[in-house]
Amino acid sequence: MRRKNRESGYILVGVLLAVTILAVVGTSLVTLSTSSVKTSSAERDNQAVYYIAEAGLNHLANEFEQAVEEIYEKDHVKTEADFYSEIDKFNDLPVEYNIFEKVNDDKPKALLDIEKIDGETGLYKMTSTGYIGDEKRSVTQEVQVEWRDKYDEVESESPITPIINTPPFAVFTSGQFTMSNGTIIGDIGTISEEANAIDISSGGPTLNGKIYVPNGNEQIVSQAHYLNFEIDEIDSRYKIPELPPFPDYPTNLKKYPDNDLIINWNDKSKHKLNLTEDIEINRLYIPGGFEDFTINVNGQDRIIVVNKLESMGSINVTGDGKLTIMIKSEMKFGSGEVNTEKNVKNLDIFYAGTAEPNFGGNMKIFGNLYSKTANLTIAGSSGIQGNILSGGSNIIITGGSKNIAQMFFAPNAHVEFSGGGNLKGKVIAKNFTISGGGTVDFTAPDIDDDLFNPDLPDDSEGGSSDGSSGKGSEIIETGAKPSIFKKKVREEIN
């Protein structure tokens, strides 16, 4: 009996020991679980507060960038000093970002701050500190703001010279751009939002530049798999400008005595046209190979209105003034040079005829050309050194033709470069195609004249009342905007 009681006692002790062990283990597990939950929650809040700080920083950066651009656009901000002074005075940036949902009854927020590090170089430091309860983390980012000149001073032929302000692209279109071969040195851009509006999907093209499209939408660009041209967002302010108005022809001009001026080898009295006033000629003809015909403007700006111009030879323009040739119905050029002194600023040609002009052989024109509605084909070894404006619908540059222009402006046309045709300057067109050995090189053209001036003097005498050319300076907007460079986001240890 005593032995049975002793065994029962052992069992009771064992049971109590087991219960004690289970209680201790259970308590430990509960403690560990609770601690793990608290640790996990703390880690979660710590990570979340970082993202809150980062979101606040992005919000501050966007607000700062928008503020900088708005300051730049203000009318009274004209210089770099004005610009940075206005930024320093600006104090309307947000100081708190709190659009977040509650976390365990705590309202997350990010406190924001921006400070100037170096006003002369436009260096600023943005800080965002995120909070959830007692948790907080801070991130910082430096931003560099660079001024871009809002205005350029350009030389103009008269104070009323219209300015055509265009973006800095080698080719700029409102419609389709197709490049199957050829070379473009410089950026290209389009304002078309159509899919595949820029097509570089075949051949072996060379593009030394970037592609700019609306919103940076890569669907607008179709490029071959082996190409990797960089695509960027075009400035939404860029538009295809309108052609300047084609001038009205002066009336009641003095008629040339014989009505027609036909140059021949033997009659030396007609080898030089000495202009003391503006005149009108029905037909002006220079035979092939003839190099001695000279038009002297005698230090004035003079106008010749011609019904038909057929220059198979060369035309010399002298006299330290500007010659404007206005052609009504027919224009033909052969293998000579027009404006042999090669001063582009001294010659403007306006063509109002509907028939396509004839540019033959080895013709070279050193002057600006404005074709009102006619299409243009410039081929062979011919070429124009000067600005080219056209209201036509089709322009072809081919066959080794070499042209130098600040601006090849045909906003209503399909412009095609092929077969070795090339341009040193920029093209603005509705549609553009380049193939074969065509080249557009957007480098500084060798032209001293920045802009084409389609205006004529208000009176038939030409020039200003004092007999000068009326040249002056004009301030134009560049269409630029400030550059903002963001450096790497860094965490600041609190």
pLDDT, one tens digit per residue, over 410-469 is 999 999 988 878 888 889 999 999 988 888 988 755 444 444 443 333 333 322 223 333
Q: Are residues 185 and 126 in the same domain?
A: no
The number of residues making up the chain comes to 494
Could you give the count of Cα atoms lying within 13 Å of 218 in the half-sphere of its Cβ? 6
Q: Rounded to a whole number, what is the largest CA-CA distance in the chain?
A: 161
Residues 281, 430, single domain; the answer is yes
Q: Do 438 and 468 have their domain in common?
A: yes
Same domain for 406 and 374, yes or no, is yes
Same domain, 199 and 347: yes
Range with the lowest mean pLDDT among 66-75, 192-201, 349-358? 66-75
491 within some domain:
no
In a shared domain, residues 140 and 215: no
The helix, strand and coil proportions of the chain, stated in percent and rounded to the nearest 5, come to 20, 35, 45
In this structure, is residue 328 part of a structural domain? yes
* 301: nearest Cα among 171, 179, 457: 457
Residue 106 lies in a domain: yes
Shared domain for 271 and 355, answered yes or no, is yes
The answer to the question of residue 166 being in a domain is: no
Tell whether 70 and 205 lie within a shared domain. Answer: no
- Do the domain assignments include residue 160? no
Q: What is the pLDDT of residues 4-58, one digit of tens each?
A: 555 566 676 666 676 676 666 666 655 555 555 444 566 676 888 899 989 999 9
In whole angstroms, give the CA distance from residue 444 to residue 449.
Answer: 12
Identify whether residues 226 and 136 lie together within a single domain. no
Closest CA to 247 of 301, 309, 326: 326
Gyration radius (Cα) of the chain, Å: 37
Mean pLDDT lowest among 43-47, 207-211, 329-333, 385-389 = 43-47
SS3 per-residue string spanning 105-151 = CECCEEEEEEEEEECCCCEEEEEEEEEECCEEEEEEEEEEEECCCCE
Pairing relationship of beta strands 323-333 and 347-351 according to DSSP bridges: parallel
Instruction: Show the domain range for 108.
Output: 2-149
490 is a domain residue: no
In a domain, 164, yes or no: no
Confidence at residue 140, expressed as pLDDT on a 0 to 100 scale: 94
Contact criterion met (CB below 8 Å) for 379 and 421: yes
User: Does 197 lie in the same domain as 50?
Assistant: no
Domains in the chain: how many in total? 2
Name 140's bridge partners.
Answer: 127, 490
Question: Does a structural domain hold residue 178?
Answer: yes
Pair 213, 361 in one domain: yes
192 lies in the same domain as 108: no
